[in-house]
Amino acid sequence: MFKAEHDSILNSRSTLGDFKVQELPLPPDFVWGTATAAYQIEGGAFQDGKGKSIWDNFSHSVPSRTNGEHADVACDHYNHMPQDVDLMSSYGVDVYRFSIAWTRLIPLGGREDPVNETGIAFYNDLIDRLVSVNIKPVVTLYHWDLPQSLHERYGGFLNSEEFQADFVRFSRLCFSRFGDRVKKWITFNEPYIISVFGYHSGVLAPGRSTLSGGDSKTEPWRVGHSIILAHAAATHAYALDFQPSQKGSISIVLNGHYYEPYDTHSEADRAAAQRRMDFYFGWFGDPIFLGKDYPPAMRAQLADRLPQFTAEELSFIRRSAPTNSFYGMNHYTTKYARALPEPPADDDWTGNVEELPTNSEGTEIGPVSGMSWLRVAPKGFQSLLKWVWDRYHLPIVVTENGCPCPGESTMSLEQVVNDEFRVKYFGLYLDAISRAVYDDGVTVEGYYAWSLMDNYEWSAGYGPRFGLTHVDYTTLVRTPKNSAFYLKQSFQRRRKDGLDKESLE
């Protein structure tokens, strides 16, 4: 199935031009795997007692918001799970990161609501099958699919106390039922996206903004605050009642681009690049990993729009930090940051920064992929790994990274399978990890490619294809792409005993 030989793929002409993959080494204990999210692949939207999530509601109530498409069936992983585990086994992955659909376990979501044992059985079966083929399960508790009933009852994240209590109950249920086999947990995936795109622009579920009856000036920051406190409560429960016997680890996954100044000679642009990083990473990273208040740049701009931590809350966050923690990083691209000359708007959420693909000298940050915002910039990835390491000093796990190929959504199956653009992207970004590890002294423990298979890409519907596996959404036939086998073979070459920094020279 691996139609092209390794060398011919890496050296073939593509829109990546003169970029060269070197296949630099990685530590012998470095792990790799694939990642998915429940709503994007499972289907079975209302099968076997599953309840409605905010994404079921968002995609069905106003179909134009999601390209007229929904994920009622998606890849039908719920009914094809054994086949998908076999597929991963053929790819030689070490780990599989997936999320648990809250509404499949607790259809109505609340702490007094009944548990759906059929949903429990599905994830038990998935975990058992993974373990049987030596694939370690990595579980995300929340990947954007809040139970719709909780949104309707009390506003979901907008009621911090109620949400925290319900999330902790859901988390404890997962720890107790699956924690004997799951040794790595993630509380929330991309709280930045949850907060900004769900409650500022409203382009993602639940679709709140000032235009739709919300408040874009304050709600994103309230939601982010709720997430931080709920994360602390869940990690405290795990550390206190489960970690001593289960011996696992738990953390959160933060997403973000790396930012270079639009004009390197401009002090304002240099400050803008740093401020944009503070708004992206420091917003959640500083309280969660450092036990500190929000970054000063956020306080200075947002003032009373940004909630205050009480002394008790910050103390609880610090005390809740579990042992064996890690930094989960979702990263795809790099951008230029330009300081806006006017004062920030009342609802600004970027740090008064304009994001651009081209700098003041007309240089593009990198070649464009199958999505206009995602450009290939591996040097920025290396820089981000160092930035995060220097700030938080935690082992990093790259929990998502990948891209769609240019024009992939309109290609023939034969063209899609020969996905040389994606192969080269993966090779370049893995080289960047190697440089961060051996040149910059960063500890990076693993890499999870996004995604195992083509899937439902939220508001973009089924257009973009990020998968290592092609999915025919009519027949549900899975077809491996060359990138899947490239990664298998590349990690075999990169992870060799006795590698040290001299291997890079």
Active-site amino acid positions:
190, 400
> Which residue, 145, 138, 127, is CA-closest to 71?
145
Pairing of strands 334-339, 353-356: antiparallel
What is the C-alpha separation between 277 and 331, in angstroms, rounded?
13
What is the C-alpha separation between 325 and 392, in angstroms, rounded?
11
What is the C-alpha separation between 31 and 105, in angstroms, rounded?
29
- SS3 of 74-112: the string is CCCHHHHHHHHHHHHHHHCCCEEEEECCHHHHCCCCCCC
What is the C-alpha separation between 408 and 404, in angstroms, rounded?
7
Find the helix packing angle between 191-199 and 219-241, rounded to 10°.
Answer: 150
Is the peptide bond preceding residue 369 cis, with omega within 30 degrees of 0? no
What is the C-alpha separation between 296 and 284, in angstroms, rounded?
13
Neighbour-count burial for 302-332, b at 16+ CB within 10 Å, e otherwise: beebbbebeeebeebbeebbbeebbbbbbbb
One-letter amino acid for residue 193 of the chain: I
Cβ burial, residue 479 (10 Å; 0-12/13-18/19+) = middle
What is the C-alpha separation between 258 and 336, in angstroms, rounded?
8
Neighbour-count burial for 5-35, b at 16+ CB within 10 Å, e otherwise: ebeebbeeebebeebebeebbbbeebbbbbb
Q: From the CB of residue 432, how many other CB atoms can be counted at a distance below 10 Å?
A: 23
Token representation of residue 487: 């990664």
What is the C-alpha separation between 32 and 124, in angstroms, rounded?
22
Neighbour-count burial for 152-186, b at 16+ CB within 10 Å, e otherwise: eeebbbbbbebbbbbbbbbbbbbbebbbebbbbbb
Cβ burial, residue 4 (10 Å; 0-12/13-18/19+) = middle
One-letter amino acid for residue 134 of the chain: N
Q: From the CB of residue 495, how many other CB atoms can be counted at a distance below 10 Å?
A: 17
